[in-house]
Structure 1
Amino acid sequence: MMENALTVLNMTEAMLWHGFLVFLRIAAAVSILPAFGETTVPPRIKIGIALAFTVIVAPALPTFETAQPSFEVIAKYTLTEGLNGFLIGIGVRMFVMALQTAGTIAGQSTSLAQIFGGASGEPLPAIGNVLSLAALALAVTMGLHVYVARYFIGSYILFPAGTFPVVEIMTEWGVAQVASAFSLAFRLAAPFVIISAIYNLMLGVINRAMPQLMVAFVGAPLITAGGLFLLFLVAPALLTLWWSALQGFMINPTEGLQ
């Protein structure tokens, strides 16, 4: 009887230790993940989300080969898993940054950079604020939590537990994600940049043909209304493109590596 109780106690201790190590990585990642790690989400809710993901992810991972819990071991895993969690979290966060960058480019192109810019926790132009809120709502509706759980499980292939990230892999992976984020931002903002270029070209021709006409008074309301109408037309396609890119990354985060 005592032997069975001791076996159960040892198994429980091993499970709690395994869950604690998984929680260290997930908690660091959840703090900056889109939707789950927004500044408007209270810290207690973030801790609850991290615990929920730990309950889901920990059983899917094999038991880590670690020494018995001690101050040195806990300090080591706190540093390594915290850094690994931050890296995998920032990888997903880059897609929100790409959307915000696209909104900034579009806002500057259509004179909508300052309207309702402070409506969210971060100062964004109107287009960036609308696209960010819509994208987060779309991601949560499409099952973001499922993809995040799979992403956490797969992250142990790229960043093994208890080890600091390899500098070469981290550099190559990070550069690929930054380049992909900026490329996505420019693709999302392309319709607004093209329309703005055509508009300014036409405005220049009109100004040359009729110098006495104050084209600025006519053109400013036109480009603002045109930017809002264009946002109404292309927002579904932009959000679909953004979600497809985010979905592909969470399914295969190592795609940018050679």
Structure 2
Amino acid sequence: MIIAAQEFQRLAGFGIVSGLLVFARVGAAMVTMPGYAQGFVPVRVRLAVAFAFSGAIFPAVADKLPAPEDALDGAAMFAVELLCGSALGMFLRLMMLALEIAGMMIAQSVSLAQMFGGADSEPMPAVSHFLLMAGLAFAAMLGLHLRVAEALVLSYDAWPAGGVPDAAALEAWGLNGVVVAFSLAFSLAAPFLVLATLYNFALGAINRAMPQLMVMMVGAPAVTGALLLLLGLLAPGLLSVWHGSFAAVLADPFLAAP
């Protein structure tokens, strides 16, 4: 009976340590994860979500967690889990930053970059707010929580618990995410940038032909109104393109990972 009690105590201790390891990775991811880590989400909600995700994915990764004697010791193990969770959250957050960057490009092209900006912890133009909130709502409707849970489970294959990720491979993976985010942002803003550029060239030609006409007083409201109308027409298509890229990243977030 004493041997059985000792074995039970050992298994219980291992279960607690394993649960804390999972919570460390999930909690770190929730601090930077798109949607759950936005400035308007209360800290208590993030903590509750982290506990919920930890309980959901623990059964799926229990067999991938290291035994105490096979893993790094103490604080080092938890530090590695925090690093892995933060890296995953930031990588996925880059896709939301693509919407924000695209909104900033569009706002700059229509002379609204300094108007109607946000006053919260993440100030940005109104166009960026619109695209970001629409993208979050779109992703939530299409099962963002399920895809995030899948990505967290996959992270234990890319970065086994108890091991240190390769720094060079981690750097290449992060740079690949930055390239993808900026490429996507420019692709989303490209129609507005092209139209604004052509319109400004037209205004320059008119100004050369009619110097007495104050073309900026006439042209600026026109281009702003036209591009805002274009944003209303193209927003559903832009969000569909963005979500396709976001879904592809969520389906295989560790394509370039070690």
TM-score by length of 2: 0.92
Cα RMSD (Å) of the superposition?
Answer: 2.1
Q: Please say if 1:150 is aligned against 2:144.
A: no
Cα shift at 1:63: 4.4
Q: Which amino acid aligns with 2:101?
A: T
2: distance between equivalents of 1:133 and 1:120?
14
Whether the aligned pair in 1 keeps the contact of 2:26 and 2:53 (CA below 8 Å) is yes
Cα shift at 1:255: 2.7
1: distance between equivalents of 2:251 and 2:238?
20
Gaps of 5+ in 2: none
Gap change, CA 1:120 and 1:132, over 3 Å in 2 = farther
Gap change, CA 1:257 and 1:87, over 3 Å in 2 = closer
What's the secondary structure of 1:86's corresponding residue? helix
Identity, % of aligned positions: 40
Counterpart for residue 109 of structure 2? 109
TM-score by length of 1: 0.92
**Cα offsets for 1:47-84 (capped at 9, x unmatched):** 1111100011110011422326xxx8330122101111
1: distance between equivalents of 2:185 and 2:55?
35
Cα shift at 1:257: 5.8
Q: What pairs up with 1:246-257 in 2 under 5 angstroms?
A: 246-256=246-256
What's the secondary structure of 1:31's corresponding residue? helix
Q: Which amino acid aligns with 1:151?
A: A
Cα shift at 1:22: 0.6
Whether the aligned pair in 1 keeps the contact of 2:170 and 2:257 (CA below 8 Å) is no
With 20-29 and 166-175 compared, the bigger mean Cα shift is at 166-175
1: distance between equivalents of 2:163 and 2:66?
12
2: distance between equivalents of 1:101 and 1:252?
23
Gaps of 5+ in 1: none
2: distance between equivalents of 1:148 and 1:257?
17
Counterpart for residue 243 of structure 1? 243
Cα shift at 1:3: 6.4
Counterpart for residue 36 of structure 2? 36
Whether the aligned pair in 1 keeps the contact of 2:33 and 2:93 (CA below 8 Å) is yes
What's the secondary structure of 1:164's corresponding residue? coil
Whether the aligned pair in 1 keeps the contact of 2:34 and 2:93 (CA below 8 Å) is yes
Cα shift at 1:193: 0.3
Counterpart for residue 160 of structure 2? 160
Gap change, CA 1:12 and 1:67, over 3 Å in 2 = closer
With 76-85 and 59-68 compared, the bigger mean Cα shift is at 59-68
**Cα offsets for 1:110-147 (capped at 9, x unmatched):** 11112211255311112111101111111111110000
**Cα offsets for 1:153-178 (capped at 9, x unmatched):** 00112222122220121121111111
Whether the aligned pair in 2 keeps the contact of 1:207 and 1:215 (CA below 8 Å) is yes
Counterpart for residue 65 of structure 2? 64
What's the secondary structure of 1:117's corresponding residue? coil
**Cα offsets for 1:173-212 (capped at 9, x unmatched):** 1111111111011001101101101111111121122111
Whether the aligned pair in 2 keeps the contact of 1:110 and 1:223 (CA below 8 Å) is yes
Q: Where in structure 1 do 4 or more consecutive aligned residues deviate above 3 Å? A: 1-13
Whether the aligned pair in 1 keeps the contact of 2:64 and 2:160 (CA below 8 Å) is no
Q: Which amino acid aligns with 2:127?
A: I
Whether the aligned pair in 1 keeps the contact of 2:117 and 2:126 (CA below 8 Å) is yes
What's the secondary structure of 1:202's corresponding residue? helix
2: distance between equivalents of 1:115 and 1:233?
21
Counterpart for residue 133 of structure 2? 133
Cα shift at 1:42: 1.6
2: distance between equivalents of 1:236 and 1:5?
61
With 6-15 and 51-60 compared, the bigger mean Cα shift is at 6-15
Q: What pairs up with 1:14-29 in 2 under 5 angstroms?
A: 14-29=14-29
**Cα offsets for 1:198-229 (capped at 9, x unmatched):** 11111112112211111011011111111210
1: distance between equivalents of 2:64 and 2:211?
76
